Structure formats: structure tokens, C-alpha cells
Amino acid sequence: MRPLGALVVGLSGQEVERVAALLGEAALHAGQEVRVATDRPVAHLGASVRCQVRIAPGELASPFIPEGGADLLLGLERLEALRWVHEVLPGGLVAVSDRLVPTPRMRLGLEAPPADLLDRLRARVARTVEVAAEAEARALGRPGCAGGVLLGLAAPLLPIAEVAWDEALRGAFSGEELAAWRQALARGRALFGRLPDALRRPPEPRAA
């Protein structure tokens, strides 16, 4: 069976790489083979960041997801999700935060934010769900763990047991931060449980 591919996208300062690393570590603790590749920005706040995470029960030769072959997209920012949604399989899943960071042209009043952004995402990948991830994280007192809410929402679809997620969290955090990320994942799982059945269907395994 072919590997499962996940994209984690957002802007620098949004913990994109940390979210991808947690996903990879959890998969390793679950006995999966993992490869992670990151497109790093040119060191300035607000630059685009994309991480590719590939997961398989056997050997992986490359960290790169084939073009248009991602099963899952976790978008920490709406415009970045739209930028990369073409890389997701039509039957995949997109989980996107409702945060939108205006572009320079938007800040100058030269263009308006796309009012139909969610429709455009769903036109490409019907199984798209938007989450108030940052609001959920702020409610936990840790705005920086918004990515944990998205991870929690995606977790039931992945070949990773809950104990493996907790091992990954304990390896990355401690004290109050660990508690907050645990709560963030739990909140994401609760949101997943409220989704329609069509959105809770796991990616279908296919031959490599």
C-alpha cells in the first residue's frame, strides 16, 4: 500500500514545523516509518512555510509527497491552505484554521480578502472543514497550540494510537505547556466526533 501523505502549511511564527514534527514523532511511536521535509522561509515573520510528512508501515525512500497526492492538509492559515490545496487528492481531507492573515496588497486596500475562500477549497477537496483553532487555543490559555487542535481533529483518521500521541507530546513539552497541548488535541478529537460521517471516513489505502 502507498504511504499516507500529510501537508502542514501556514506562516512562520505559527508553529508549522512543530506541528509536523509532532505528527512525525507520534507516527514513529506508533511503529510507522516516517519522513518529513520542510520548505523553510527566508527568515522573516509571516513567510510561507510548508512541511510534508509521509507515513508508512514499511520503508520510505523519499520524504516528498507525489504532486497532487496528499491525503491530508492541515492549514494553520486560510490563504496558505488555498495556496496548497491543489496538492491534495480529491478524496482527501482539508482541516483549516479560520485565521486569515492579510497580504501586503490587502493591507494597502488594493485587494479584498476572498469572500469565497472556503467554497474554493471545497471545490477542489469536498471534504474540507474549517475550525476556529486559535479561539479554541486561546480558551486553553495557550494561543500557540492552535496546531494541536488541528492535529487532534485529524488524529482519528491516522494509523496512530492515542498513547503514541501522548508519548510524542511528552517528548516535546512539559508542565503547563504539555497540559495545554494535551487539551488541544482532546478538543480537536471532540470536534472530529461532531463531524458528518462523510468527513470522518479515513483515507482509503491504495497501491503504491
CB 170 within 8 A of CB 178: yes
Question: Is 158 a residue whose pLDDT tops 70?
Answer: yes
Percent of the chain whose pLDDT exceeds 70: 94
Query: What are 7's strand-pairing partners?
Result: 52, 73
As to burial, measured by CB atoms within 10 angstroms (0-12 exposed, 13-18 middle, 19+ buried), residue 208 is: exposed
Whole-angstrom Cα distance, residue 87 to residue 134? 24
Greater confidence (78 vs 208) lies with 78
- pLDDT tens-digit map of 79-133: 999 999 999 999 999 999 999 999 888 999 999 989 899 999 999 999 999 999 9
Whole-angstrom Cα distance, residue 137 to residue 154? 16
Angle at 112 between CA 73 and CA 39, to 5 degrees: 35
What is the distance, to the nearest Å, from the Cα of residue 116 to the centroid of all Cα atoms in its chain? 21
Banded model confidence at residue 200, pLDDT cuts 50, 70, 90: confident
Question: Is 10 a residue whose pLDDT tops 60?
Answer: yes
Average pLDDT score over residue span 167-194: 95
Question: Is 166 a residue whose pLDDT tops 90?
Answer: yes
What is the distance, to the nearest Å, from the Cα of residue 142 to the centroid of all Cα atoms in its chain? 18
Banded model confidence at residue 151, pLDDT cuts 50, 70, 90: very high
As to burial, measured by CB atoms within 10 angstroms (0-12 exposed, 13-18 middle, 19+ buried), residue 125 is: buried
Q: Identify the CATH number of the domain defined by range 4-198.
A: 3.40.920.10
Q: Does this model's pTM top 0.75?
A: yes
